[in-house]
Structure 1
């Protein structure tokens, strides 16, 4: 283990090198020299230990990104050579840093650390990392920035682990299939948490229900509860965070809809909720959420509903699509205003 003064000296040297590399006056020749020095450091067997220490001590974004990129290469190329104790040390250090600093991290650093947690899960879930998915759901059911962090992790997990497809990382097909099964096993809890967020924030917005059914004969079984009932005043900052959470929730669902088995994992009630957010496209204050809601709608429409077991979801999709179309065509001026 390095002494504190050695850590500080190494960090100061790295800080100086990174700042010099990105300085406008630095020549290409000098940049190549710095690149070689950084590469030599990254290739050391113990470089991951230094990077973990740098993450905990540095506030230089260049240093943080270099450390995270080095750790990413180790996870993707050398993970098998680390002992279980070393893997656990890397995982717990990253996780603790993420939980402790996610509110003050710039978004691309936060997202990079979250992506590394998912990369570790790609290899270690569930045998060494059994609480990976439950941690995500727990965060999503929290409030504020912790909820947003959970959504960042959930979308990254969907993108990297959710479907047995090529993500650029070599994995045996049996492992890819196992990861997809693990993701599907946790979907009911995740989808329930996402649905709760969307309905709760719809109430906070104090907005009305989606437009009435275009056919009077169809019962309103798909209508959301009265969204005005629990409307309340919120601060501008809270409202902005709530809307950021809604947008991230909808983009996460959009990706989930691209691969989830719809008949068994996407209930009709969730279809209705996503369509609700898509239906607020005429309200400019929620434009980003509306576009993300419509993105989720498009993913649902892209899918094939072949199994008979998907009939209920397909019927709800058709019903909601007709309602949305009627709503948009009956508000041409508002839609035109929102478009501009």
Structure 2
């Protein structure tokens, strides 16, 4: 005993030192080594059991449990049978005696350790493992503890880690499945007893102006009179302990539903009970009213009756009630996400849909005091997300099963979904609902493809809903109808998909519009055309206000057209061998804008934009017919005309590069034998002869002695070699044939340059000769 006490004090001291802020990392490593060595000893668990029983230090408790966890998961096979029995008997007793005093995370960890033993030994050596859990749930004082154990068992045994063999995993799952009917029955009883215990008869409120409509819809959705009556009752108020038990039970159900198959074990009674708790997420107003009435009734009973006073139960906080609603919706969604539905479960599935859509009706009901949007704003955000998830699962997984059922009014459901979608208080919520509509439209499209003979009947059933959806989605992306919300969208920050919030909003909306157009092309076109025509009239009306002196705008327009050269190239590759007339028209129209701009009278900014556009088309697009376009032939004539005034240096170089590329670069998607190299080589030689006419006249002449003549000669050399150097550099990375033609065309100029090199190299500014000669290598 003294040894255990001393060990406890030493461990507490080490733990305090380890977590102290002044302890160095080296010392922490030393302490960690000591603790690890202790944990590896076979008899260490006895000390740890004493520590768990005697210490109030959270660090010590957690360390002791980690020793047990390591022992069970890694060393269990080497532990003697007698010690295993002692551990299996002592830890549950410790949990039972101290669970109320232990911190929550310590209690959860101890439950996990006990479940780990069950994972190893149940049922052969730990036959009462699961029986003990069921007994804990059935005992009122230990119900919360039993629920924690049950959830942990579901997590650790149904979905075990990889350290178990496949056979053991299958055995555990089979054992758990055998317990499922009993477990679901217990959980149903726990939830029902709490609900019934706290349910009271509330005063019937006066009918609202929308009461008759609501009752009609309710009768359409829920065909069982007794169930409809239950749905109309106000929800009860729960005290904190009951709320905790319900939350634990719903968490257990949610995890169980994630792995058990759909079967008759999931009874209508259980589904109805879960649905009752789901109501708590959307009944805040009636819950508050009922709490006040309940409090008044208790006060009157305690003050004037000879009967013993009823205990006054305080209602839980709004947050706690929302939590129960969220947990209940999680249970429902776990059921809804299962695509494999047995035939005997079809009726239960219909019941789930009917009951949940009754909630949708309550959420979207509009009263004098609350609009649909304000009601959604009051609801917990997590609850709305869960409800949206349910709608998505219903449409994507189960609509095909439910649509033809006469007991489920699909058109009325779409009306509710429409209200739910277009009253969402957040952009994210709205986009999530648009995704649901996209799923529904995909479903309709596929259904029509598989049943073409019924196309008119299918579309006719949903036409009104689709028309309303199209109109409202279009309104949501137009500032005239939705300016306030559209201005809130971020159009600068990019997300992981390189989209802004504004772009994502538009994409989701237009995807829905496109899907509707596939189903209702005529109506969609007329709707879109009316909106586009109105906007187009406004746009075209701006023409009278345009002043034709915008050089900058003109240059930017050409630059914008240049930016599309890559898309034009792709378009050309698509239509080149099919129907290129439209492409020819686009290129011809663009080229017609260039000749008037190739002039010394045009501002240089605009001139350069025109030159860059021609370079892009000649280099990137490379259409076969480019040289035959009259506008391009005019540019050839302008550049080769010796009498025309020379353009600024940069523009001259760009134009010559473009015209050279027209003749040298191979045409895309054209066989080598059809490239017309001979004809193009002849044209290229003529082009260079025209460009080097003055330069070639220097052949056989000495440098002039007069300064004016010398400067003029040097200017001819620099201008000509600047153009030739650019052509050589531009073609250097191309194929052999292009470079051969270029070399043949430049051969005479190259020989002349080598001749002029010794005579002019010492003249100032004649470095271009050296650069050109070197570029020929």
TM over 0.5: yes
- 1:107 aligned onto 2:148: no
Distance of aligned partners of 1:305 and 1:327 in 2 relative to their CA distance in 1, 3 Å threshold:
farther
After TM superposition, the structure 1 = structure 2 runs for residues 112-131 of structure 1, keeping only pairs within 5 Å, are 112-131=109-128
After TM superposition, the structure 1 = structure 2 runs for residues 22-41 of structure 1, keeping only pairs within 5 Å, are 22-41=19-38
Check conservation: 1:214, 1:326, Cα contact below 8 A. no
Match of 1:149 among 134, 145, 148: 145
Check conservation: 2:221, 2:357, Cα contact below 8 A. no
Match of 2:71 among 74, 84, 103: 74
Match of 2:184 among 191, 194, 198: 191
For residues 45-84 of structure 1, the C-alpha deviation after alignment (integer angstroms, 9 at most, x for no partner) is 2112221121112111111100100110110011111122
TM-superposed CA distance for 1:216, in Å, is 6.5
Name 1:65's counterpart in structure 2: 62
Q: Structure 1: how far apart are the matches of 2:57 and 2:91?
A: 17
Check conservation: 1:206, 1:227, Cα contact below 8 A. no
Check conservation: 1:187, 1:265, Cα contact below 8 A. yes
Check conservation: 1:198, 1:273, Cα contact below 8 A. yes
Name 1:336's counterpart in structure 2: 377
Q: Structure 1: how far apart are the matches of 2:118 and 2:38?
A: 26
Check conservation: 1:159, 1:255, Cα contact below 8 A. yes
Check conservation: 2:221, 2:355, Cα contact below 8 A. no
Moved more, 123-132 or 135-144: 135-144
Name 2:359's counterpart in structure 1: 324
Distance of aligned partners of 1:109 and 1:188 in 2 relative to their CA distance in 1, 3 Å threshold:
same
- The structure with higher relative contact order (CA 8 Å, sep 6+) is 1
Distance of aligned partners of 1:244 and 1:335 in 2 relative to their CA distance in 1, 3 Å threshold:
farther
Distance of aligned partners of 1:158 and 1:220 in 2 relative to their CA distance in 1, 3 Å threshold:
farther
Check conservation: 2:278, 2:325, Cα contact below 8 A. yes
Match of 1:302 among 332, 337, 354: 337
Name 1:16's counterpart in structure 2: 13
Distance of aligned partners of 1:189 and 1:229 in 2 relative to their CA distance in 1, 3 Å threshold:
farther
Check conservation: 1:277, 1:293, Cα contact below 8 A. yes
RMSD: 2.5
Distance of aligned partners of 1:208 and 1:293 in 2 relative to their CA distance in 1, 3 Å threshold:
farther
Q: Structure 1: how far apart are the matches of 2:201 and 2:365?
A: 16
Q: Structure 2: how far apart are the matches of 1:307 and 1:105?
A: 44
- 1:314 aligned onto 2:349: yes
TM-superposed CA distance for 1:206, in Å, is 2.8
The DSSP-based 3-state class of the residue aligned with 1:188 is helix
Distance of aligned partners of 1:78 and 1:169 in 2 relative to their CA distance in 1, 3 Å threshold:
farther
Name 1:173's counterpart in structure 2: 166
TM-superposed CA distance for 1:204, in Å, is 3.6
For residues 89-144 of structure 1, the C-alpha deviation after alignment (integer angstroms, 9 at most, x for no partner) is 11211101100000011000000010111110011111111111121111112224
TM-superposed CA distance for 1:152, in Å, is 0.3
Q: Structure 2: how far apart are the matches of 1:228 and 1:218?
A: 17
Q: Structure 1: how far apart are the matches of 2:235 and 2:278?
A: 21
Name 2:253's counterpart in structure 1: 253
Distance of aligned partners of 1:216 and 1:178 in 2 relative to their CA distance in 1, 3 Å threshold:
closer
- 1:182 aligned onto 2:223: no
Distance of aligned partners of 1:139 and 1:244 in 2 relative to their CA distance in 1, 3 Å threshold:
same
Name 1:6's counterpart in structure 2: 3
Distance of aligned partners of 1:174 and 1:201 in 2 relative to their CA distance in 1, 3 Å threshold:
same
The DSSP-based 3-state class of the residue aligned with 2:22 is coil
TM-superposed CA distance for 1:37, in Å, is 0.7
Q: Structure 2: how far apart are the matches of 1:25 and 1:78?
A: 35
Match of 1:218 among 214, 223, 236: 223
TM-superposed CA distance for 1:228, in Å, is 7.3
Query: What is the TM-score normalised by the length of structure 1?
Result: 0.89
Q: Structure 1: how far apart are the matches of 2:276 and 2:325?
A: 9
Name 1:272's counterpart in structure 2: 272
Check conservation: 2:235, 2:279, Cα contact below 8 A. no
User: Which structure has the greater CA radius of gyration?
Assistant: 2
Q: Structure 1: how far apart are the matches of 2:228 and 2:138?
A: 24
Moved more, 120-129 or 323-332: 323-332
Q: Structure 2: how far apart are the matches of 1:288 and 1:88?
A: 40
Unaligned runs of 5+ in 2: 203-213, 285-317, 367-371, 382-777
Check conservation: 1:75, 1:119, Cα contact below 8 A. yes
Q: Structure 1: how far apart are the matches of 2:340 and 2:352?
A: 10
Check conservation: 1:140, 1:147, Cα contact below 8 A. yes
Query: What is the TM-score normalised by the length of structure 2?
Result: 0.40
Q: Structure 2: how far apart are the matches of 1:89 and 1:193?
A: 30
Q: Structure 2: how far apart are the matches of 1:129 and 1:52?
A: 19
Which 4+ residue blocks in structure 1 deviate beyond 4 angstroms? Answer: 221-231
Moved more, 99-108 or 297-306: 297-306
Distance of aligned partners of 1:48 and 1:193 in 2 relative to their CA distance in 1, 3 Å threshold:
same
Q: Structure 2: how far apart are the matches of 1:303 and 1:290?
A: 21
